Amino acid sequence: MSGDSLTVASVEKAFRVLEAFGHSTDELGLTEIAGLTGLDKSAAQRFAHSLWQAGYLEKNERTRRFRLGKRVLTLGYFYLRSNPLIEAATPALIELRRACGERVNLSLHDDLTLIYAIRQQSKREYFYGTLIGRRVPVFSSAGGRAILAALPDDRADDIIARSDRSPLTPATITDPAAIRAKVAEARAQGYGLAVEETVPGELTLGVAVTDAAGVPVAAIHIAGSVAEWAPQDFATRFAPFAMETAQSLSRSRMVTATGGAVLRRS
């Protein structure tokens, strides 16, 4: 194996160690890291030690177990700061939040998942609902279905087929035919709707944001409580707000094919 190949393999293994922490909210020991990454314990120790020295892992000196380090959070900040779509969409979502009074989100499309990048809070929150960076499946999320509806049928079917359709809640729709029916519904209505499919007690409405070529790259979400809203009442009330915001971003031609944006300068 060439030196370049060895370097690439080492980088890939280091990221596997970092991503192992996505499987747990607790600190991880070397045996657990090895099991989650497929590395032997000696390799897990080398990579964990290097990442600890670099600040991307922190170590509990009492237990010798690891957790993610603060430098990981800094990388997230660098991404958000450098993504023009985030900059462009932030004031639009602040205004949307003021107009509707419910939580609003912007999520970025990444193949089989959406990643929450902006979250404007409502009066009623749970911990994970406040965090950016969470991934949710495209097939079971309101914004994901809006994105699937904006794609050609063969691409949408490919995403559904490749998805791990394990249910997140008892209400998650996992049957491919039923998912396609929800996508067709989203195409007809101009928005997707999901009721308790990713979070119990929550209903979400989503609209796709498209780039200059009409390719969906992100989604606007509005989320409410099933204790306060019937799904159709929620959609009737808030779909116009979400559609206007998403269409405004799309029409501005600020969004590029990479999910970023081209900012116009005066």
* Residues spanned by the domain of 243: 83-251
CA 183 – CA 188 distance, rounded (Å): 9
Closest CA to 89 of 196, 201, 197, 218: 218
Indicate whether 101 and 223 sit together in one domain: yes
Q: What is the pLDDT of residue 192?
A: 98
Q: pTM for the full model?
A: 0.83
Indicate whether 87 and 68 sit together in one domain: no
Helix, strand, or coil here: 219? strand
Identify residue 122 by its one-letter amino acid code: S
Is 260 within a domain? Answer: no
Counted domains in the chain:
2
Indicate whether 31 and 156 sit together in one domain: no
CA 251 – CA 212 distance, rounded (Å): 8
Indicate whether 108 and 172 sit together in one domain: yes
Indicate whether 96 and 46 sit together in one domain: no
Helix, strand, or coil here: 159? helix
- Residue after which a domain boundary falls, among 73, 96, 123: 73
Helix, strand, or coil here: 157? helix
Q: What is the mean pLDDT of each run of 10 residues along the chain (266 residues)?
A: 69 93 89 94 94 94 93 91 90 95 95 95 69 92 98 97 96 97 97 96 96 93 95 97 95 57 36
Between CA 136 and CA 64, with CA 33 as vertex, the angle to 5 degrees is 120
> What is the arrangement of strands in the sheet containing 113-120, beginning at the earlier edge strand?
135-137, 113-120, 103-110, 216-225, 202-210, 192-195
Indicate whether 112 and 226 sit together in one domain: yes
Is 17 within a domain? Answer: yes
In this structure, are residues 119 and 97 in contact, taking their beta carbons and an 8 Å threshold?
no
CATH code for position 34? 1.10.10.10
Indicate whether 56 and 103 sit together in one domain: no
